[in-house]
Chain A
Amino acid sequence: MKIKINDRKLKFGGVSLAITTLVIAAVIILNVAFTALAYKFSIYTPMGRDSTYEVTDNCISYVQDTVIPKIAEGESITIYFCNDEDIIRADKTQSQILTSASEIAKEFQEKINIDFLNVWENPKLARKYGITSSNDVAIVYGERYHVIARTDFFNYNETTGEATAYNGEKRLAAGLLKVARESNPMCYITVNHGELIESYELLYMLADAGYNYNYLDLLNYDIPEDCDLLLTFDPRQDLAKKDSVSGISEVEKIEKYMQDGGSLWFFASADTFLAGPLDNFESLLEKYGVKFSHSENSDGIEECLQIKDSSNSTSIDGYTFFTKNAENDVAKNWLSHVKAQSLVGNATAIDVSHDFTKQPDGSFASANGKITLAPILVSHAGAQGLAGGRIIRKATDDEPFNLMTVSVFECENGKSATLLACSSTVFASESTMQSAVYGNSMVLSAISKHTGNEDAPILLMPKPFPTTEMSKLTTKNATIITIVSAAAPTLAIAIAGAVILIRRKNRI
């Protein structure tokens, strides 16, 4: 029904002004209300299925299965962003992290919520939670808290320092788990044997799996009672054994730890044994079926085998190559979610001790049946094992080179001790562990999950940013493209305009 308004007062004057003001006010109120609702309920739609800051279903499932059951009835976890809300939303990076956190909070509204804490106005609270920057994110559950620095949400190129991927959902999920658990597993990293962890990515992976970690000098200290995982990374000096000079035996400490149901991760490479054999380490490992391959070179000196696989290599020399998952039941079960191939480099091979026998399922068992050794990652057929430049042996489908093995030992106290042996330190390097393409990080998370740390996240991966650098375009070609792109359409429009205007003028 059309209403005709002829009254001049309604057309102009005070009434018209009032109507105009009301309309504008209504639009502003609508906007304010909708914006507030949009922030509260995350009313937005990611365009494209690979929206970097969107939280995946894997993350939601992980939080649902591992975090939520640990939160007591009536309690909740709060994710604090350490500044005023408007400042956080105005900062591009912080707002993106807020997007991820908001999606998690939206799924578990009763159990996880978001809050904003201006640390400058609340210095006591900031000190209490160990917040050192307004860019930090603090996850708090009662008296337990975990702080994530902004830089920890991203992976970086080790050369240029440029952010290469967003790792937010894994860091947030790991942080939530850390505060939800009453106690977190402890990892001790051995030192004073020349160990050199070049990349922090292995430590980040352990932290994401829920471990707290510390360093341990076995010579001067015993392995603490709370040690859930002992990590030895690329040692260059041997373990101390009791002798006439010293009464301290690091070997005995580790043996006792293992017999009590401990877990040991040992990383080595082809260079680990360059300075000479590590007899005490190797004899300890051999008890669990692990024997790093040695061979005599042409001078009669024992050298570690170095594996080369040119057919599956990412490097020209063939020494950095893809592995494949082993075919035994343990590997198939543990790595069922790991579809991506893992990358190793400068790898040596792990042989199985001679007193272990191969089982029908592909694993190996000790003579007394108490120790099971399962290859986890192996080389492809055709890989070569070299020593001193000579090919010592080649891998076949039935006998590939073992690159990562897990030994499980049934202890007398009923617990299971585990030994993870990895024959490539490049496996845990920054580029391999950060990559969303390689399965390295997922493999270690899976092993952690199946060797006592049930809550380790396997399927949460960093989301790489698009590679923004052009590597093949020369400056000359770039200039030509720019000039052509600028000139061609402009000239076309100008010519079309000139033609039309001139023809029109002539017609007139």
Chain B
Amino acid sequence: MFAIYKKEMLSYFINPVGYVFAGIFLLFSAIFFGYTTYLSASYDTSTFFTIMIFAFIVLIPLLTMRLFSEERKMRTEQLLMTSPVTITGMVLGKYLAALTLFLSSLALSCINFIPLYAIASAERSFQTYDTLRIGPATNQVVGCLIGVALIGAAFIAIGAFISALTENQLAAAVITIAVILVLVLIGAISSLINVPWIRSILNWISILGRFGNFSIGIFDYAALLYYASIGFIFVFLTIRVYEKRRWS
């Protein structure tokens, strides 16, 4: 698995893909961050993170569309499946490489918070007695970052699975966008449903609904399990697809 992981990580840096993804991620995050904080004269970062989740609908398929479909198109899939590495190792190696690139980009985007905290620190020196907290709520910021990382990991797993189903990268990207869009918007749809049990199911599935507790600084173990389960299920399904392909 580690060999596949290393190979994938190297390919992100010897091809433009890694740089393009990281560059676009940083550009989008900085623009959204600036627009929702500095230009809105607000320390509230919750809008930024919500917009970023919607941005993942487009960004993550760009990262995952070539994960498996390129191997299939270039006919290098046979080499992978006949190599000493297990299918599970191969899938996990590719998934973890994509996840590493995503998390690294997310970590780099945190430099946007440096000017925000610096401005808050400067304003605190002018605070009057009746102002208790100036600046972003760090526990909420940390909560949102954890939530966003978990959501990204889940989306990458979905994208990897869809990429494994087709050799056409564009088709993989479009289908991934559609699936992620449905998962993100399902919470909004639930408010239109009058049947309680259907509404409960839709809210339970809703990605944004689960993000709520993280956004107010609460580490929700049920949401953690939910996002990890999505990641597990789709990675598992990807492994099953390749197992079937190997032995059929």
Contact = CB atoms under 8 A, between A and B. Distances in A.
Contacts of A481: 34, 38, 115
B221 A44 contact: yes
A45 B218 CA distance: 6
B212 A472 contact: no
Nearest to A8: B247
Interface in B149-204: 187, 190-191, 196, 199-200, 203-204
Given A16-B243, A481-B115, A482-B30, A472 B196 contact: no
Contacts of B31: 482, 486
A436 B44 CA distance: 21
Task: Assign chain A's interface to a size class.
Answer: 35 or more
B85 interface: no
B245 to A, nearest CB: 9
A1 B77 CA distance: 30
Interface stretch (B20-28, B54-62, B65-73): B20-28
A48 B240 CA distance: 41
Interface string A473-488: 1010111011101100
A87 B204 CA distance: 11
A471 interface: yes
Contacts of B203: 86, 89-90
The A contact surface, by secondary structure, is: helix
A42 to B, nearest CB: 10
Contacts of A431: 130
Contacts of B187: 90
Interface residues of B, number: 77
Contacts of A435: 130
A95 interface: yes
B185 to A, nearest CB: 14
B217 interface: yes
A466 interface: yes
Contacts of B126: 471-472
Contact of B226 (A23, A31, A496): A31
A3 interface: no
B119 A479 contact: no
Nearest to B28: A486
A54 to B, nearest CB: 8
B240 A20 contact: yes
Given A35-B204, A45-B219, A489-B30, A482 B119 contact: no
Contact of B111 (A436, A464, A473, A489): A489
B138 A44 contact: no
Interface string A25-38: 00110111011001
Contact of A23 (B26, B136, B236): B236
B41 A470 contact: yes
Given A87-B199, A473-B38, A12 B247 contact: yes
B130 A494 contact: no
Nearest to B118: A481
B39 A485 contact: no
Given A16-B240, A44-B213, A494 B19 contact: yes
Contacts of B243: 11-12, 16
Contact of B143 (A47, A95, A436, A468): A47
B220 interface: yes
Nearest to B146: A47
A470 B42 contact: yes
A128 B168 CA distance: 63
Contact of B218 (A12, A35, A47, A85): A47
B33 interface: yes
Interface string A295-326: 00000000000000000001000000010000
29 contacts: A11-B246, A16-B240, A16-B244, A20-B237, A30-B229, A35-B225, A39-B222, A44-B219, A45-B218, A47-B142, A47-B143, A47-B219, A51-B139, A51-B216, A86-B190, A90-B209, A92-B216, A99-B218, A314-B130, A322-B129, A466-B134, A473-B38, A482-B33, A485-B34, A486-B27, A486-B34, A490-B27, A494-B23, A497-B16
Interface of A: 8, 11-12, 16, 20, 23-24, 27-28, 30-32, 34-35, 38-39, 43-48, 50-53, 84-87, 89-90, 92, 95-96, 99, 314, 322, 343, 431, 435-438, 464-473, 475, 477-479, 481-483, 485-486, 489-490, 493-494, 496-497, 500-501, 504
